[in-house]
Structure 1
Amino acid sequence: MVYNYTTKNTCSTNIKLELDGDIVKNIEFTGGCNGNLKAIQLLVQGWTVEQIEEKCHGITCGRRPTSCADQLALAVREAYNESQKEFAAE
């Protein structure tokens, strides 16, 4: 499942990702700090939704109450929940 998530209160504006069950693949950020986001994409490639939430949820950026990593944790959970709704509807 490919999922697009519109970020909130970050320099990045969108996160596109692919879910295979609860495994996260092919993460792409739009905007944000290019080098840092490339690193995040590579580091969490193949992790589960739970692993990303455990490591990234709650990280802040400067004075902001969130960060691109925190938004990724929210995005993967939202994508996973949506995939479960689709699975249940089948």
Structure 2
Amino acid sequence: MSSIIKFIPDGVCSKEISFYICDGKLKNVEFVKGCTGNAQGISKLVEGMDALDVAKRLKGIKCQNGTSCPDQLAAAIEKTLKE
């Protein structure tokens, strides 16, 4: 999988999450809108990490509406890996 994945998150301030997975590693994570500093921080921290490991670490983190941008990134990764 090396094409850019675009995911529309639910229940968070971010309007879109994009990334790609190459050789199991997460690359170029970008959040559209939302909390800029947090989104940039998450993006830099997960760059090059194992995608499944990122999903496991971020799944279940809550901010509002029972979810968060990290939780939505985890959902996007899990959905992508199942396809």
TM (normalized to structure 1)? Answer: 0.84
Structure whose CA Rg is larger: 1
The structure whose residues are more often helix, as a share, is 1
The equivalent residue for 2:36 is 34
The equivalent residue for 1:51 is 53
Q: By how many angstroms is 1:56 displaced? A: 0.4
SS of match in other structure, 2:15: strand
Total equivalences in the alignment: 81
Q: Is the contact between residue 22 and residue 80 of structure 1 (CA under 8 Å) also seen in structure 2? A: no
Say yes or no: does 1:7 pair with 2:47: no
Deviations 1:24-60 (A, max 9, x none): 1000100110000000000011111221122100000
* 2: CA distance, partners of 1:67 / 1:30: 14
Structure 2 gap ranges (5+): none
Q: By how many angstroms is 1:67 displaced? A: 0.1
The equivalent residue for 1:69 is 70
Return structure 1 stretches of 4+ with deviation > 6 angstroms: none
Structure 1 gap ranges (5+): 83-90
* 1: CA distance, partners of 2:74 / 2:5: 13
